[in-house]
Amino acid sequence: MAIMKLTYLEMYGNDMSWASFHVLEVMSSAKFQQKRVGYLAAAQSFRANTDVLMLTTNLLKKDLGSANPLEVSTSLSAAASIVTPSLAHDLSPDILKMLNHSRPYIRKKAVLAMYKVFLQYPEALPGAFPRLKDKLEDADPSVVSATVNVICELAKQTSGTGSEITKTYLSLAPQLYELLTTSKNNWMLIKILKLFSALAPTEPRLKPKLLPPIIQLMRTTTAMSLLYECINCIVSGDMLDEDDYEVAELCVSKLRTFLEEHDQNLKYVGLLALGKIVVKHPQFVINLQDVILECADDKDLTIRDCVLDLIPGIVTENNIYHIVNKLMDQLRASRGILSPGSAGVAAGAGGTSAEDNKNNSALDNHNSRIIESIISVCSKDTYSLVPDFEWYTTILVELVQLGTDNVGWRIGDQLRNIAIRVKSMRGVIVEASVRLLMNYQLMTHMPSVVKFVVWIVGEYASLVPNVHELLTQLITSRYGDEEAELGYMANSGISGTFGMFTTFGSAVSGGAGGNTSSSHGNGRHGPGSNSPSNAQFGTVEASIQAVVKLYSNWAGQANWPSGFHFQVLEATNQLITYLEHYSTAISYEVQERAVGFLELVKVAKEAIEQLPDNSETPPLLLTLAIPSMFNGYELNPVAQNSQRKIPLPEDLDLDTEIYPAYALSDIEDDYEIEDEASTLVDGTTILIEDTPLTEQDLERKRLERLERQRDDPFYIPISSGNQTPLENSRSNTPTPGIAIANAGGSGSQPSSYTPGSHISSASQPSKFMPPPRRTKVEIIQDEKIDGVDDVDETTTTTVKTKSKTSKSRSKPLFKIESRLTKLDLNPETSTTTDQAATLEVQKLRQQLLNESSSKPAASSDEILVTHKKIKKKKPKSTTGEAGEATPKKKKKKKVTSSEPPAAAEPAPETMY
């Protein structure tokens, strides 16, 4: 009774390990009622480190061999719970004998207990597997069901390569097939189907044999679990080929019932199965687009994510407009913005307020996936499914308002690709980009898209409607100023250097080389440009070049109207102030562009000042020189891998340094001079004398160095103490004297932004609106190198993409660790391994014997073997004839060299 009370208390978390010996005493009781209580307490409280566990071996052996079936059953249950590697080694023969017990429930428990034994002692499995295989033909259905469960679990534990699974478990196919066609136990049929789904991919002959009974089960069963396993066995077992139309149609028709159920679990598994079928038979899954899109309104985000995985496979030219608008309605509903007819979407979006949805990070991640799905289906096959690019541009602009910054680079990349590829849409794209840039609130909400829209207005500056207004907005807003403050030192390596050449190339060669390699369609992007990790960088560089291009296009008109001279001069002064702001930036990229263009604009200012007032003829520097830097070549997209296929010139030397190394100390106060000569930036060499310098000489040299560094644009001063030398040049406040263009409140800089707050109801498409007519446009394809394929496997390098942030799966709570993973159940292989091991042992023994027998003998002719003196009692004297005692004499043993020692008994190394 005391042990029973302790067992009850242990269920509430109390420790009873201190009573383990008392539990063992109760287990050994002769009364079955007490023995049962003891076994229950042992199964609940004994652990692998319990000290009395070794004492249970004989007790369990005794009870397993008992004539009382109740004692055998109780001991089997306890042994399966407390088994350890040592117990499994000792008890496996006894439990194996129980497989032939006369009672069916004993055989069933023995089969289940053997699985726990196999986990702890895998060496018992090869010998016991034939006995386990015989239990598939047992007369009792419960024993067969338990055997099938154990075999399926063993197949999971010992899963290796496909050939190993086939060799091990393919011999069970006849018995399993017989059970599949005759058994009525749904749970056993599910286990058999799971095992066949693992065997079928490695054995093609199983497909024609298994498909008829599986299809018969699908048509006759009413159990949804068995129906799903039948479909999963066909799909996962590679039994569904591209020409199996009838089987695919049957599977899809059965899965419709899953999607129409109210149970969330059935919807989820149905969508997972459809995701596997849509790869080979999308034409049948498209027929279910109505129920699939209804699942998109489900309140469970997991189900809605599964719908997003299915959408790329079911979208066509006919339904892309409806599907995209359905997804857009979800985004609007999550932001609390309802378009006409989308009230039902908001009701199905979760039933919470817009404020709750905005603070839900899971919903934000789902919205980001929606945006990525929209972009993926629309950009598929170089925009072959888009019916109207003006409609798609409207969708992208609205996504900027509804999305988050983590997908801004995808939206901006799409706007840029359309502007490059579709010439007829460049005016629409430029106009949309101007509207985005004039909205300061929106650009601070999604700063990652600024780089792309700024590049668009700069590259196609001739299409900008009001250049002066946009130029003023860019100068005053200073997009990406925080980026220039940080300097993104992480990108100052190879990728930053590559970005310097690719981005600045558009300014030198007329825009053809700047983003050519990064303007690929279908989401392809070049290094350092469009990747998610680098999407927030490059805004200031793109802004500097865009401002200069806009200024060149605006000020380089052929004829200046009246009063335009003063506007150009004022804009030139503003541009100089803007470039001076970044001429001392921490970033090398920003500083180089700003300094280069600053000198050019200063020369232009001198040319403008030399003109008379109200001059109508601009200087040639503005009309010819500066525009020729940007308008030299037409920008076209380049195919992926084309640039690396260009052969390197034979005379190209990448090892020789362009400039010799120089040493320059940056310490402002005390420093030590170690070299004999120091080369400065301008090439001047200062010889350092061996004699120590005085304090006056050090101070004089320090002042000279500071004077040289003050005029050096490539030197970055380092602040010390509380000094902030770059504070004034990093201010985010607009430059005084420059008017901010308030176009719809664009000049204001609010502290917060509500996504979708600037969406007008007129711009929101409704699902009741007719789809746009498909317009014929010319889409520029990627340029390729003649005679070379687009994909070259020998030169293709692996590009690492930023994966979604996902936590690693933790280990299951009740998973049992085992050593069955690498176990080979093939008896021939195991026998061959044992024979090889035996031969290796014999070889080592023979080698040791040969070494011991081949030791050289000692050099002396005679070896004297002495023994340690042992004290013995004085022997009794023997009486001679004269009555005197004559003691026995000991003789010394001599071993001559002519008598070699026996090889079997070598002499010991230590001699006494």
Predicted confidence (pLDDT) per residue in 463-490, tens digit:
998 899 999 999 988 887 665 444 443 3
Predicted confidence (pLDDT) per residue in 394-442, tens digit:
999 999 989 888 899 999 999 999 999 999 999 999 999 999 999 888 8
Q: Classify 796 as helix, strand or coil.
A: coil
| pLDDT higher than 60, residue 54 | yes
Two tokens at 131? 């006995």
- The closest alpha carbon to 320, from 418, 395, 386, belongs to 386
pLDDT of residue 512: 34
In this prediction, residue 164 has a pLDDT band, given cuts at 50, 70 and 90, of low
Two tokens at 246? 């009838």
Q: Classify 441 as helix, strand or coil.
A: helix
DSSP H helices, 260-360, are 264-277, 282-285, 289-295, 301-314, 320-334, 343-348, 354-358
- The closest alpha carbon to 386, from 324, 431, 313, belongs to 324
pLDDT of residue 828: 53
How large is the average pLDDT for residues 199-216?
A: 90
pLDDT of residue 866: 44
pLDDT of residue 150: 94
Q: Are 63 and 36 in contact (CB under 8 A)?
A: no
Looking at per-residue pLDDT, the higher value among 267 and 868 belongs to 267
Least confident of 223-227, 286-290, 524-528, 899-903: 524-528
| pLDDT higher than 70, residue 686 | no
| pLDDT higher than 90, residue 897 | no
Least confident of 116-130, 342-356, 602-616: 342-356
| pLDDT higher than 60, residue 216 | yes
In angstroms, the CA 448 to CA 375 distance is 16
| pLDDT higher than 90, residue 755 | no
How large is the average pLDDT for residues 749-772?
A: 50
- Record: fold of 1-135: Leucine-rich Repeat Variant (1.25.10)
pLDDT of residue 77: 94
Letter string b/e over residues 863-887, b meaning 16 or more CB atoms within 10 A of that residue's CB: eeeeeeeeeeeeeeeeeeeeeeeee
Looking at per-residue pLDDT, the higher value among 497 and 41 belongs to 41
> What count of other Cβ atoms lies within 10 Å of the Cβ of residue 293?
18
Least confident of 14-23, 101-110, 520-529, 539-548: 520-529
Q: Are 593 and 541 in contact (CB under 8 A)?
A: yes
Q: Are 418 and 397 in contact (CB under 8 A)?
A: no
| % residues pLDDT > 70 (the chain) | 67
Q: Locate tokens 């979407």: which residue?
A: 345
| pLDDT higher than 90, residue 372 | yes
Average pLDDT, the chain: 75
CA dist list (Å): 645 to 41, 302, 655, 677, 772: 73, 44, 21, 45, 41
In angstroms, the CA 538 to CA 498 distance is 12
In angstroms, the CA 267 to CA 263 distance is 7
Q: Are 503 and 514 in contact (CB under 8 A)?
A: yes
| pLDDT higher than 70, residue 163 | no
| pLDDT higher than 80, residue 120 | yes
List the beta bridge partners of residue 677: 687
| pLDDT higher than 80, residue 491 | no
How large is the average pLDDT for residues 673-682?
A: 42
> What count of other Cβ atoms lies within 10 Å of the Cβ of residue 401?
22
Predicted confidence (pLDDT) per residue in 775-793, tens digit:
777 787 777 766 545 444 4
pLDDT of residue 64: 94
pLDDT of residue 560: 87
Two tokens at 491? 């990108």
Q: Give backbone dihedrals phi and psi of 192, rounded to 5 degrees, phi first.
A: -65, -40
Q: Are 413 and 453 in contact (CB under 8 A)?
A: no
pLDDT of residue 831: 54
Least confident of 163-167, 227-231, 461-465, 504-508: 504-508
In angstroms, the CA 151 to CA 191 distance is 9
How large is the average pLDDT for residues 264-282?
A: 91
pLDDT of residue 480: 72
pLDDT of residue 376: 93
Q: Are 481 and 442 in contact (CB under 8 A)?
A: no
pLDDT of residue 638: 82
pLDDT of residue 744: 41
In this prediction, residue 156 has a pLDDT band, given cuts at 50, 70 and 90, of confident
How large is the average pLDDT for residues 14-28?
A: 91
Least confident of 317-321, 432-436, 616-620, 832-836: 832-836
pLDDT of residue 524: 34
In this prediction, residue 597 has a pLDDT band, given cuts at 50, 70 and 90, of very high
| pLDDT higher than 90, residue 193 | yes
Contacts of 341 (CB under 8 A, 6+ apart): 766, 767, 768
In angstroms, the CA 743 to CA 440 distance is 10
Domain locations in the chain as residue ranges = 1-135, 466-482+535-630
In angstroms, the CA 862 to CA 895 distance is 6
pLDDT of residue 274: 93
In angstroms, the CA 53 to CA 41 distance is 13
Q: Are 42 and 56 in contact (CB under 8 A)?
A: yes
pLDDT of residue 650: 85
In angstroms, the CA 430 to CA 453 distance is 8
Give me the helix-helix angle, 20-27 and 2-10, nearest 10°: 130
Q: Are 86 and 50 in contact (CB under 8 A)?
A: no
| pLDDT higher than 60, residue 690 | no
HSE value, Cβ hemisphere, 13 Å, CA-based, for 437: 35
